[in-house]
Structure 1
Amino acid sequence: MSWRTLTYFGDSMLLIPTAVIIALVLPWKSDNRRTVWYWLLAFGLAGLIVSISKIMFLGFGIGSARFNFTGFSGHSAMSATLWPVMMWLISGRWSRGWRVFTVGIGYVIPLMVGFSRLVIHAHSASEVLAGLLLGFTLSSAFLLSQRGTALKGFSVAQVAIALLVPVLLMSHGRVATTQQFLERFSADLAGLEKPFTRADLFR
């Protein structure tokens, strides 16, 4: 598996449809009616905080040259928010040992995504660490809030259907244009001809 394939596990083109699938499945599989709202709050808050941090830099140059920070790594933050919850949902009726193992995989995937962002020079270490901290905080808070929630089990067919869209998106390989949109939006919002860049941070 290449680093760019691995980094796709944090791409919005994959994560947003998967987050929608989770939101659609939760009312069916959870005995807690608030679970889906907690999930939408966690995932939406991750996206909002990441977007605001990027807009602050791209539009207004607010960052840190000392820490080489231009905003949260979206791939790291969003994957750290989603994958632990996805694995928790799939393993809902398994034995405790298998559940812990499966959710653990959900925490490892974002770490690998974050490392891939460093390898391909998409982000600095501070941006990846901040993104992971944000995402893991939100996903962990969600999971802690669901300690008393009972989940219905998944059949093999149901798991396959739930994973069908993510697998198809990964095979297609199309990446989201979120960064380009934020660059245009930030520049327009600040009245700039072009957004700030990392090079501007060190001038």
Structure 2
Amino acid sequence: MSWKTLTYFGDSMLLIPTAVIIALVLPWKSDNRQTVWYWVLAFGLAGLLVSISKIMFLGFGIGSARFNFTGFSGHSAMSATLWPVMMWLVSGRWSPRWRVVTIGIGYLIPLMVGLSRLVIHAHSKSEVLAGLMLGFMLSTAFLLSQRHTALKGFSLAQISVALLVPLLLLGHGRVATTQQFLERFSANLAGLEKPYTRADLFRH
């Protein structure tokens, strides 16, 4: 598996549809009516904080040259928010041992995504670390809030249907244009001809 394939596990083109699938499945599989709202809050908050951090830099140059920080790594933060919850949901009726293993994989995937962002030079270490910390805080807070929630099991057919859209997107390999949108939005918001860049950060 290539680093670009690994990094796609944190791409919005894959994660947003998967997050929607989780939101649609939760009311059906959870005995807690509030579970879906906790999930929407966790994933939405991750996206909001990542976007704000990027807009602050791209539009207003607010970052840290000392830590080489221009905003949270969105791939790291969003994958760290989603995959532990996805694995928790899928393994809902499995034995405790296999649940721990499966949820552990959910925490491992974002670490690999974060590493891939460093390998392909998409982010600095501080941006990846901050993104992972943000995402893991949100997913862990969600899981802790649901520790008394009972989940219904998935049949093989149900798991296949739930994973169909993510697998199709993964196979297609089309990436989201979120960064380009934020660059345009930030520049327009700040009245700039072009957004700030990492080079501008070190020029000041």
What per-residue deviation string (whole Å, max 9, x for no partner) do you get for residues 122-163 of structure 1? 000000000000000000000000000000000001001100
Deviation at 1:86, TM superposition (A): 0.1
2:51 pairs with 1:51 = yes
TM-score normalised according to structure 2 size: 0.99
- The C-alpha deviation readout for 1:171-193, integer Å capped at 9, x for no partner, is 11100000000000000000000
- 1:68-147 aligned at under 5 Å gives the runs 68-147=68-147
Number of residue equivalences: 203
| Cα deviation digits, residues 70-105 of structure 1 (max 9, x gap) | 000000000000000000000000000000000000
- The CA distance in 2 between the partners of 1:82 and 1:175, in whole Å, is 17
Distance 1:47 1:55 in 2: 12
Query: What amino acid does structure 1 have at the position aligned with 2:153?
Result: G
Letter in 2 for 1:100: V
Per-residue CA deviation, residues 14-50 of structure 1 (Å, 9 max, x unaligned), is 0000000000000000000000000000000000000
Alpha-carbon distance in 2 for matches of 1:71, 1:147: 32
What's 1:160 paired with? Answer: 160
Partner of 2:13: 13
Counterpart of 1:26?
A: 26
User: Displacement, 1:64?
Assistant: 0.1
What's the counterpart of residue 200 of structure 2? 200
Q: Secondary structure at the match of 2:9?
A: helix
Q: Which amino acid aligns with 1:38?
A: Y
Aligned CA-pair RMSD: 0.2
Q: For structure 2, which runs of at least 5 residues remain unmatched after alignment?
A: none
Distance 2:112 2:172 in 1: 21
Which blocks of at least 5 consecutive residues in structure 1 are unaligned? none
Q: Say whether residues 1:185 and 2:180 are aligned partners.
A: no
Q: What percent of counterpart residues are identical?
A: 88
3-state secondary structure, aligned to 1:10: coil
Q: Which runs of 4 or more aligned residues in structure 1 lie more than 3 Å from their structure 2 counterparts after TM superposition?
A: none
Q: 2: CA distance between counterparts of 1:94 and 1:2?
A: 31
SS of the counterpart of 1:202?
helix
Aligned to 1:63: 63
Shift of 1:4: 0.3
Letter in 1 for 2:174: R
